[in-house]
Amino acid sequence: MGPSRQWDVRGALVAASLFHLVHGAAGGCAVPFLSLYLRHLGLPASLVGAAAAARHLLVAAWAPLGAACARSGRQAKALVAAALLGSAAAALLLTLVPPATLEDARGLCSGAAGADVGNATSANATDAANGISANGDGVNASVSNMVPAEQWRATARALPVGLVPTLMAPALRGEETSSTAAAGVDLNDNPEKHLLSQNGKLPLFKSPLPSVGGAGAPENLSHHWQAALDTGLDLVQDTKGERWVFLMALGAMLLWELLAAPVECTVDESLYEYLDFVDAADRYSTLWVWGYLGVSVGACGVTLLVDRLGCHLGSRLSRQAVHFYAYSLLAVLSLLASVFLPTYAPKKDKRTSRTAKALALIGGDGHAVLAAVTVLLAGAASSAVHNFLFWQMEDHGSSEGYMGLWVATGLVAELSLYPFRGELLRTLSGSGMVVLGLGCQAAQLLCYSFSGAPWAALLAQLLSAFSNGALWWALDATVSDVATPGMERALRALLRGLAQGAGAALGSVSGGLVVDSYGLPVLYRACGAGLLLWLCLFLALQSRLPRQKKINYSHLLTANSSDVSDSEEEKERDWLVKAMKDESFG
């Protein structure tokens, strides 16, 4: 580096803004819709949650480590280019994963475009069920023919997995059903007895079972037994198919994130060190705005495109594959933008020691421990929303356009509140902002649990300005109080990794299990109640902790010149007075 080199700070900021815009748009096209795509492959919520948890953990652990390796090799720009190309190719691997079953109607289309498919599935299920029962008031005596095996299999495909054993059980056991079952069970009159599918959606119809020896019983049950046995074998094969689909999708996702995760972290660290070297680090703080705008544009644009397409692109490719094609295209465009990014390699990388110091700082301060637990729980609750809310919106007839608008609404709301964050912190203080953020997040979850309508989801998403933005601004204030010189960025990165890694993984796994067992409303209510409980505990513990604000010497460097000159004059005068006293004493 010669002394005549010119440092183009403005050009570096323009290039970085363009990169964050395009790269954010690429992520907005695919990442928010990953769990929905896995659902369309036929995976249950528990497996989708497990895949999401593995992805969150990989990103949180590998992103900073991969960025440090790239920067230490002095070839950060070349490695970023290779990673972008590799991630663009790896994202397309997800489009090659086949669905768990060819008969899985769920996932062909969603929203308005998929209404016909859903109605056809419900009609087939109802017709098949009517082959077992003529109406809900009892078994019609005219029903004396046995349901063919092919119709049993079609019914098993259309109905939720949990309902099939209920229909097969009497035939397999050869037991008589009760008079209540023979008379028919009205699901509308027994809401607690609803047999729900894994996604919580089931066409409601009356399904009485024929009693052995009753008026509606067939003369020969041998065909019934054989059909039920064949259906059970098919279900076992479908379970194995789900496992293979899960493994293939998980492998493609992890390969994708293995290549894509370090990109943004590498670019951010290199740019910050470049700006810090030329004393312009303060201009780095607003670059995240371009990333938010990119995600909003990408999510809205790709969903509008998907809604205008047919159910399939070709013979076997669903229209949801457009998300990954859009990501690949924009990833290549972000590669072109990365060519103009500045390069600066530090002589030493002390990331490992900084991470250890950040852990020690958090463990040695009670307020920092509370902040860490808060981000862990907030990240878990947030992952429950991002993983499964689109499932609920799809079940209520929402198109993907509403889903993209939901993503953009939260980000734009947070951007709109950002100019007022200073006034909010002065008015409410850090603890008040945490209370506001957790309370708004709990309110969001409760809104999602009671209404799955798209318009209700959009209104609740406006609270993200406080549940995400205000909460993290308060935690950043806590970091500023705890951090020693040069440790603020390391502490923030550690807290965000805790929320987006461990917290999101915990919420994904537990959320998937709860959805499969109890449904989405129960998941959201449980998360909301858990946040409110932690909020009460947070306030109780916060009031008992001593407030020990440490001196952050890096903030003193930003003091105005008059304050610095005054302090220097006072030090000089004190030194002179002390010297005169010592001389007179001698």
Domain final position from 285, 319, 341: 341
Closest by Cα among 48, 30, 491 to 260? 30
Q: Report H helices in 451-470.
A: 454-461, 464
Same domain for 407 and 324, yes or no, is no
The pTM for the full model equals: 0.73
Same domain for 358 and 331, yes or no, is no
pLDDT at 496 over 70: yes
DSSP 66-85: HHHHHHHTT-HHHHHHHHHH
Same domain for 264 and 389, yes or no, is no
- Whole-number Å distance between alpha carbons of 38 and 383: 15
Residue 473 domain-assigned (yes or no) = yes
Please tell me which residue, 208 or 269, carries the higher pLDDT value: 269
Residue 254 domain-assigned (yes or no) = yes
Domain final position from 310, 341, 372: 341
pLDDT tens, residue by residue, 283-297: 888 889 999 999 999
Residue 123 domain-assigned (yes or no) = no
CB 169 within 8 A of CB 195: no
Same domain for 326 and 432, yes or no, is no
Residue 183 domain-assigned (yes or no) = no
Supply the pLDDT for residue 201: 41
Same domain for 318 and 273, yes or no, is yes
On the 0-12 / 13-18 / 19+ scale of CB atoms within 10 A, 547 is: exposed
pLDDT tens, residue by residue, 448-488: 999 878 999 999 999 999 999 999 999 888 888 888 887 88
Range of the domain at 310: 7-100+243-341
The overall average pLDDT reported for the chain is 76
Domain final position from 295, 312, 341: 341
Please report, for the domain that includes residue 329, its CATH number: 1.20.1250.20
Supply the pLDDT for residue 92: 94
- Whole-number Å distance between alpha carbons of 552 and 544: 24
Same domain for 441 and 466, yes or no, is yes
Residue 388 domain-assigned (yes or no) = yes
First to last CA, the chain: 54
pLDDT at 498 over 50: yes
Percent of the chain past pLDDT 90, that is, above it, reads 44
pLDDT tens, residue by residue, 177-196: 444 444 444 444 444 444 34
Q: Confidence class of residue 122 from pLDDT cuts 50, 70 and 90?
A: very low
pLDDT tens, residue by residue, 394-436: 999 999 999 999 999 999 999 999 999 889 988 888 889 999 9
pLDDT at 350 over 60: no
The alpha carbon of residue 557 and the mean position of all alpha carbons in its chain are separated, in whole angstroms, by 39
Same domain for 509 and 368, yes or no, is yes
Q: Confidence class of residue 352 from pLDDT cuts 50, 70 and 90?
A: low
Same domain for 453 and 537, yes or no, is yes
Residue 125 domain-assigned (yes or no) = no
Same domain for 249 and 292, yes or no, is yes
Same domain for 388 and 483, yes or no, is yes
Please tell me which residue, 401 or 4, carries the higher pLDDT value: 401
Supply the pLDDT for residue 380: 95
pLDDT tens, residue by residue, 34-44: 999 999 999 99
Please tell me which residue, 355 or 87, carries the higher pLDDT value: 87
Same domain for 377 and 460, yes or no, is yes
Q: What is the dihedral of CA 33, 388, 370, 422, to 10 degrees?
A: 50
Same domain for 486 and 429, yes or no, is yes
- Whole-number Å distance between alpha carbons of 404 and 407: 5
How many domains does one find in the chain? 2
pLDDT at 379 over 70: yes
Q: What is the mean pLDDT of residues 144-159?
A: 44
Closest by Cα among 475, 284, 522, 483 to 378? 475
